Chain A
Amino acid sequence: MRPDSLGSFEIALLIGGMALVTLLTRAFFVFLGARVQVPELVLRAIRYAPLAAIVGIVAPELILPPGAAEISQMDWKSPNLWGGLAGFLAYFWTRQMLPTLILGMTVFSLVRYWL
């Protein structure tokens, strides 16, 4: 273990702290209390927030090559790009998860080894 790495007590503290962070963020407006009335407009506005969150997680992983930090590193030979496209088409046709995973992973691996 390196001298500057975290000890087991600090890791335990970190795990407890991160659990509290999960609670604090996911119940943030609960803790603000009932005095904060959420207007109907706000509720309607955040309707697409969960969809946007998952799209925001997936899109960069599909479009950018593995390990890329920004858009300028985009590469047409990226296995993610073609594997993702194959997975998208597979899901579009079959509406099922398994063909999506199998076709996507196959194209991903082919591009990775031969392009």
Chain B
Amino acid sequence: MDFARLTAKLPYSGWNQQQQSAWRDGLKTMSRSALAIFSWGAVTGLAMGKSALTTEQALGMTLFVFAGSAQLAALPLIGAGFSVFTILITAFIVNLRFVIFSIGVQAHFSHLPAWRRAILGYFTADFGYLMYTSRFPEVQAVSERKNDSYYRTYFMYGLATGNWGIWQVGSILGILGASQIPDDWGMEFAGTLALIAVIVPMLDHRAARWAAIVAAIVAILTYSLPLKLNLTVAILAAIIVGILADRSPKAMR
């Protein structure tokens, strides 16, 4: 097999030096949270493996749907025999936070053709958007984007590659290992713990700490809402805090 000819077909080899290093930068940035993504993927995979789905169906779901919280929300509904339409509506509402993220995807990558932006959006889950915006909070002027060979775009491709890849490894191992792991080990708690290590470093300034505290309190108080709507309410509350933090720079920063 001619490896060089094979890899020449990959988009990566058609990118210039700067774009390739941007992609690797993104991949490296994402892999710093590999254990957290892996544990959440594994927990989601375990839940799918223990559900009414067959192994093939669970693998298909993880590979194509790529939305952990929506998958977890769908499982009990599938088990209870709800209609496909009802489960799809549920998935949409559980995914509402991504609609908010898509505002950012649209603005940051407006130079890309719409279909590429849509694909990039599909691969932009919680971790990808979190890491992109913590590295590049401000939208780059369109005129400046070309000057650095669209570094940020290729950085985002790297984030997406890492996020998807690590998530799928965890999730597939979880699905395949589900029959081996007893229910009462409390393994799902490991996924929650791993996220602490993602959150704490982000609380490095006052406005972020306020947003996080408000999001935590609101998400807990509204936990009884159906369809994980507490997440959307918590995000909206954090957005309001963010605006207030912006308005009173001295008091909140």
Partners in one complex: yes
Interface assignment of B239: CB less than 8 Å from any CB of chain A:
yes
- Shortest distance from the beta carbon of A56 to any chain B beta carbon, whole Å: 4
Contact A54 B60 (CB under 8 A): no
Interface assignment of B161: CB less than 8 Å from any CB of chain A:
no
- Shortest distance from the beta carbon of B173 to any chain A beta carbon, whole Å: 16
A1 to B81, CA, bound (A): 11
- Shortest distance from the beta carbon of B243 to any chain A beta carbon, whole Å: 5
A39 to B134, CA, bound (A): 19
Contact A56 B215 (CB under 8 A): yes
Contact A54 B199 (CB under 8 A): yes
Known contacts A29-B99, A70-B224, A51 near B202 by CB under 8 Å: yes
**Interface residues as binary, A16-39 with B (CB distance below 8 Å gives 1, 0 otherwise):** 111101111111111111101010
CB closest residue in chain A, given B100: A49
Contact B189 A83 (CB under 8 A): yes
Contact A30 B230 (CB under 8 A): no
Interface residues of B in 207-234 (CB under 8 A from A): 207-208, 211-212, 214-221, 223-224, 230-231, 234
Known contacts A25-B92, A25-B98, A51-B202, A4 near B193 by CB under 8 Å: no
A30 to B119, CA, bound (A): 10
CB closest residue in chain A, given B106: A29
Contact B98 A15 (CB under 8 A): no
> Which residues of A are at the interface with B, using a C-beta cutoff of 8 A?
2, 4-6, 8, 10-19, 21-34, 36, 38, 40, 42-64, 66, 68-71, 79-80, 83-84, 87-88, 91-92, 95-98, 100-101, 104-105, 108-109, 112
Among B103, B192, B208, B231, contact of A53 (Cβ-Cβ < 8 Å): B231
- Shortest distance from the beta carbon of A114 to any chain B beta carbon, whole Å: 14
Q: How large is the interface on B (under 10, 10 to 19, 20 to 34, 35 or more residues)?
A: 35 or more
Among A21, A24, A97, contact of B194 (Cβ-Cβ < 8 Å): A97
- From B6-14, B70-78, B143-151, B174-182, the one touching the partner chain is B70-78
Besides the known contacts A22-B122, A91-B200, A109-B186, 8 further A-B residue pairs in the complex with CB atoms under 8 A apart: A22-B70, A25-B92, A25-B99, A38-B103, A47-B242, A60-B223, A71-B224, A79-B186
- Shortest distance from the beta carbon of B172 to any chain A beta carbon, whole Å: 15
- Shortest distance from the beta carbon of A113 to any chain B beta carbon, whole Å: 10
Among A11, A46, A63, A105, contact of B239 (Cβ-Cβ < 8 Å): A46
Q: What A residues does B99 contact at CB under 8 A?
A: 25, 28-29
Q: What B residues does A16 contact at CB under 8 A?
A: 64
A2 to B78, CA, bound (A): 12
- Shortest distance from the beta carbon of B60 to any chain A beta carbon, whole Å: 5
Which of A48, A58, A59 neighbours the largest number of chain B CB atoms within 10 Å of its CB?
Answer: A48
A101 to B190, CA, bound (A): 6
A2 to B97, CA, bound (A): 34
Interface assignment of B18: CB less than 8 Å from any CB of chain A:
no
The 14 listed contacts between A and B (C-beta, < 8 Å) are: A5-B52, A15-B61, A23-B121, A26-B105, A27-B102, A28-B121, A44-B243, A52-B234, A53-B130, A54-B198, A79-B189, A88-B200, A97-B194, A108-B193
